[in-house]
Structure 1
Amino acid sequence: MEESVDIIKQLRLPKIGKTPMYLIIVLFVMFLAILQDLIYSKLQNTGFYLSESMLYNTFWAFFIPFTIFNNQLIKKINPKNKLRKLPYNLLIGIAFSLLHIVVFTSLFVGVSYLLFTPAHRFVNMFNAAFSNQFYIALSWYIIFPIIYVSKVKLPYPTTTFSETLMFKIGSKLIAVPTASIIFISTDKPYSIVYTSQQKFLDIKSLKEFEKELDPNIFLRVHRSTIINATCIKELKSRSNGDYDVKLDNGQVIRLSRHYRNNWQQLLQ
């Protein structure tokens, strides 16, 4: 049940009231199929039995659980190699289509033994379902998983950032906690790292520092500056899209509108 809820959330399937759209679609298709049986019986002047028609068209309801299992299988073990993907998906689709028909036929025959006289034979029902619905099931179990996998956003692996950076002063290497860094600016060909106690020269570029530091805390606010968002004391607009920010050490840094996507959250 959790897997079905996950699929609905990830595909953002719409609802009507509290009823999922996929359930409404299945019920609507079943209704149309029963209506088709009724119309056919009238045109051909044959008998129409609502109970048999409803039972036969439970075939459509099996798409819900089998689609859930099919999607989970495709998502977990589908090969990344594109040359192997198509035959793999085809085999999975064929297997689920046959399983769908076998389970449906078993249910139909089992219920018919309880309700109908004479009961339907398994072979006859399987052949009828296979000849009439196999291509529908196969198309569904191949196409829908492709749509599902393309829309599902797999969780990104969590990135861990170092809590300290190493800086060289003379012949010594000093470990500096990243939490103590207030801001980093460029003074080509060096970068200057400012902490609450002192500053360090380093040959790394700001782009390299961006890769080492947590982007939720250390924001690139200008082509020449990265600031520690936890060290902000005051934010003031320049009325042209730029802002000035005052840091804990009293330093005033310009927030460039060209890097607004990086610091937009500071205004919220």
Structure 2
Amino acid sequence: MSKEIQQKKTRIKATLKYLVVLVLILLVTIFQDYLHSRYNDYSFYASESFLFNTFWILILPVALILNRVFSKVLALAKIPVLLVKRLLFVLLASIFHMLLFAGLVHLVSALFYEHTFTFLRNLRYTVSEDLYKYLLIYSVIALVLIRKKKPIKEEKSNSKYIDQLIVGSSRIKTAIKTSDIFYIAAEAPYIAIHSLDRKHLHTATLKSVLDQLDPEKFVRIHKSTIVNLTKVISYKSRLNGDYDIQLSNQQVLRLSRNYVDNFKHRFSALQSS
């Protein structure tokens, strides 16, 4: 099963769970209204009870809308104090919910009910009856949605790799920028580091040097050769499994068949980056 299908099923399950919980809440609140009407001896109207309990239906949409606003509006997203940000979320969500609820009840009652519940009446009702619910519910939601963002640590790509090689004798040391290296070849008992204008001998092994170089730029093309991919212009098959690699300094190197796949992968990745 693909990851996309699994994510889709997860979303469907979450939606179904939310709908089940919402239906249960609506049934409980309508039943509560019924009991309240029996206790206080007044008529019970299921349609009106359902209409005024649409309060619960609006919670998730309002929370998601406000959460998106807080993530997209720069002034809100950059509020430094978490408590202030949460309090503002609770306040704005509650106000938005009350206005939306009052407007929705007015519209639905005007369209489908004999008696229209006016906007201002609905607003007064929801403030007097449900304000504490808004504050409590959106406070809990704010704790879940509005969190302190962990500072994003800038990943220094390839920071563990060197940007220069130090070569030479104990008396004279020369620093060679890795970006200036064209290729490195084994010349027992040394390795030869080839730059544009000269060759430097260094007492190390190809493997030890390769481990220090950025693998996105330096790759082994032969048991005795490492090439800088940024210096490669093209490569051409020898029709026997091996290839010839053309460098920007007109140097031609042999690419062994044992290293072809890795070279092609790294070279393509570098060209597309």
TM-score normalised by length of structure 1? 0.54
Q: In the alignment, what sits opposite 1:24? A: 20
| Identity value in percent | 23
Identify which of 59, 66, 69 aligns with 1:70.
Answer: 66
Inter-partner Cα distance in structure 2 for 1:129 and 1:46: 20
| d(CA) in 2 for partners of 1:38, 1:173 | 85
RMSD: 4.4
Could you list the runs of 5+ residues in structure 2 that have no partner in the other structure?
A: 1-6, 169-173, 185-202, 216-257, 259-273
The structure-2 alpha-carbon separation of the partners of 1:19 and 1:172, relative to structure 1 and needing over 3 Å to count, comes to closer
Deviations 1:102-142 (A, max 9, x none): 11111111111223233222222111111111221122223
Q: 2:103 is matched with which residue?
A: 106
Give CA deviations for 1:197-246 in whole Å, capped at 9, x if unaligned: xx55xxxxx9xx7xx978xxxxxxxxxxxxxxxxxxxxxxxxxxxxxxxx
Structure 1: gaps spanning 5 or more residues: 1-8, 181-191, 201-205, 215-247, 249-268
Determine which structure has more spread, i.e. the larger CA radius of gyration. 2
Task: Please give the residue correspondences for 1:29-68 in structure 2 after superposition, counting only pairs within 5 Å.
Answer: 29-68=25-64
C-alpha displacement at 1:46, in angstroms? 1.1
1:239 matched to which residue of 2?
none
Aligned partner of residue 64 in structure 1, secondary structure: helix
Q: Matched residues in 1 for 2:104 and 2:98: separation?
A: 10
Q: Please point out which of 93, 97, 110 is paired with 1:96.
A: 93
Higher relative contact order (CA 8 A, sep 6+): 1
Count of aligned pairs: 186
> For the residues of structure 1 that align with 2:25 and 2:145, how far apart are their CA atoms?
21
For normalisation by structure 2, the TM-score amounts to 0.54
C-alpha distance 45-194 of structure 1, shift in aligned 2 (>3 A): farther
Runs of 4+ in 1 over 6 A off after TM superposition: 151-156
Match of 2:178 in 1: 175
Q: Which residue identity is paired with 1:144?
A: I
Q: What's the counterpart of residue 120 of structure 2?
A: 123
1:61 alignment partner, SS class: coil
| C-alpha distance in structure 2 between counterparts of 1:19 and 1:78, whole Å | 27
Q: Which amino acid aligns with 2:20?
A: I
Q: Which residue of 1 aligns with 2:141?
A: 144
**Aligned twin of 1:166:** 164
What is the deviation of 1:22?
A: 2.8
Contact 1:66–1:96 (CA<8 Å) still a contact in 2? Answer: yes
SS class of match (1:167): strand
Higher mean alpha-carbon deviation, 140-149 vs 39-48, is at 140-149
**145-154 or 106-115, which moves further after superposition?**
145-154
Sort the Cα spacing of 1:45 and 1:74 in 2 relative to 1 into closer, same or farther, 3 A: same
CA separation of 1:93/1:46 partners in 2, compared to 1, >3 Å: closer, same or farther?
A: same
Q: Go from structure 1 to structure 2 and tell me whether the alpha carbon gap of 1:172 and 1:161 turns closer, same or farther (over 3 Å shift).
A: closer
Change over 3 Å in CA distance of 1:195–1:70 after alignment to 2: farther
